[in-house]
Structure 1
């Protein structure tokens, strides 16, 4: 009996010690909980975390090779303030049928950020082409870009056509669109996505998600860690937004779109309050072989709000443009 009590006391003491260590770890780095949640999501999607050095940046990316040998490779490129984790709901539906490469763009997420480096459309499109060369080899990929990543993907497809067999632009930036509050704020030199506190975090989520049911819940204390992280990112975000949102090259992807010859999917959500759906029509004018899909009931994050519909549209793009 005494032995059993001693064991119980020892176990209780160990659990208390582990709990104290966990509390201390979170207190010293509240964003740790966010990283742990991202890792959980990646494992749930059966994706591996990988990294590769390409020129002067290290790319961190999620990947899956669980696909038939002749399956296409999909490269999924996130948008402004985004990261590879934005694609995990869609990746869960695509894995097993396609090879998946889901990077953090240089400057974002876990990938390298270099002080003074250019992270505008042209520089990132060139880096993306080099990443595809390095990781995908000599097989052209299906390139899928969202928002800012859509502008980068469009420019990469136009300038490096040998790397891209098919293209999908989801709520893509890089062309003029109907006037909205987001666009006015950007042109005035403000970042509508800036997160400083709980109120601005809620405003950010309200802007990007049109479907409240799909909006991620960020409980305390992970919420405080996320806010602190985004607050620290504010100067970098503003520099990038000044370049891609109101700089001379803000419409570079749209200007280059006339050179896109690959089969192309244009997909928008009708409630997009960031890149108004009118942008899709302009891209379609410049890419006459494109197919348009407009989804109802969602906002700027189609791949998180309507992953099944996005997966079906990508299947259609790949199937219909197959030799």
Structure 2
């Protein structure tokens, strides 16, 4: 099934090596905050001014299309260490603004990509493919990330860094495509547990859950503060609701990533956790240490909640620097 594909681009993508067929990235400007205000935070404005978009050519049994994909890559380099960041559920690559700004200045080729659950990457074609086939969201998410890695990152092995639900996506990607991932970092990651009911319950109550969530988000989008504006900036994009519904109706990532999948991760893995995480408990960090084949250790961030990279970025950077730079 071809959904909105450019046939000539797809032909080029199939007849050349993946990273030779990558369409060029162009600057991307998101819509302004819905409350009519402005964002004053310097790190957010630094990141927003550097957003890029490129078509990612997918050629899978469920989806053959060019998916407009949004990402941050402030300082591309073929020689520097390369780190790929995956945001949490219903956020965007802006989640990584504090870490990226500092690591880029220190010589790391940092890339943060908007995957299906958030940001400005277009979701319509993926959602249509899910509705028209028996594919699962995590499969198409993984295939989209693989195509992005092949085409925009030219197949270079990365240090993969995932937070919250993005951590579960990172586990799935690293265990399925070990050739793409040199090392892994999990920050308050899903996988050992999820703050959600069992998958069958999630699927059954998808619409009521989204209705409540939508009311909360509508209020949050109109709060006159930087944090609310930044986290809400992408939520007016087309297809957000439909993508969330498709994901919840599938039963969630819990159907794909659990202890068995975690035990298949062979890469050296660093686990970073906020000690005051009220969504995923600190005990999950030590469950990861138990189940990962090669956990290099758990690093606690005292006093931090579920997003230590936002709460205390300097503390997280202190843990990341030696791990990312080590060859």
Provide the rounded CA distance (Å) in 2 between the counterparts of 1:168 and 1:198: 29
Equivalent of 2:34 in 31, 34, 47: 31
In the other structure, the counterpart of 1:278 is: 283
Normalised by the length of structure 1, the TM-score is 0.71
Equivalent of 2:108 in 94, 98, 120: 98
Provide the rounded CA distance (Å) in 1 between the counterparts of 2:234 and 2:49: 26
- Give, in angstroms, the shift of residue 216 of structure 1: 4.9
Higher helix fraction: Structure 1 or Structure 2? 1
In the other structure, the counterpart of 2:244 is: 237
In the other structure, the counterpart of 1:257 is: 262
Equivalent of 1:116 in 107, 128, 134: 128
Equivalent of 2:97 in 88, 93, 106: 88
Gaps of 5+ in 2: 1-30, 59-64, 131-135
* Change in 2 beyond 3 A, CA 1:243/1:216: farther
* Change in 2 beyond 3 A, CA 1:130/1:254: farther
Gaps of 5+ in 1: 1-27, 206-214
Alignment of 1:180-259 (within 5 A): 182-184=195-197, 187=201, 189=205, 191=209, 194-197=213-216, 201=220, 216-218=226-228, 229=236, 233-243=240-250, 245=252, 249-252=254-257, 254-259=259-264
Alignment of 1:37-48 (within 5 A): 37=39, 41-45=43-47, 48=50
- Give, in angstroms, the shift of residue 153 of structure 1: 0.7
CA contact (8 A) 2:39 2:226 kept: no
* Change in 2 beyond 3 A, CA 1:127/1:101: same
- Give, in angstroms, the shift of residue 316 of structure 1: 2.4
Equivalent of 2:176 in 135, 144, 159: 159
In the other structure, the counterpart of 1:266 is: 271
- Give, in angstroms, the shift of residue 100 of structure 1: 1.2
* Change in 2 beyond 3 A, CA 1:304/1:53: same
Provide the rounded CA distance (Å) in 2 between the counterparts of 1:44 and 1:298: 24
Is 1:174 matched with 2:191?
yes
* Change in 2 beyond 3 A, CA 1:60/1:313: same
* Change in 2 beyond 3 A, CA 1:272/1:250: farther
In the other structure, the counterpart of 1:50 is: 52
* Change in 2 beyond 3 A, CA 1:168/1:40: same
- Give, in angstroms, the shift of residue 218 of structure 1: 3.8
CA contact (8 A) 2:55 2:68 kept: yes
CA contact (8 A) 1:196 1:228 kept: no
Provide the rounded CA distance (Å) in 1 between the counterparts of 2:291 and 2:217: 41
* Change in 2 beyond 3 A, CA 1:39/1:49: farther
Aligned-CA RMSD value: 3.7
Provide the rounded CA distance (Å) in 2 between the counterparts of 1:128 and 1:227: 19
In the other structure, the counterpart of 2:9 is: none
CA contact (8 A) 2:171 2:257 kept: no
Counterpart secondary structure, 2:39? helix
Is 1:126 matched with 2:129?
no
CA contact (8 A) 1:122 1:152 kept: no
- Give, in angstroms, the shift of residue 125 of structure 1: 1.9
Counterpart secondary structure, 1:259? coil
CA contact (8 A) 2:191 2:262 kept: no
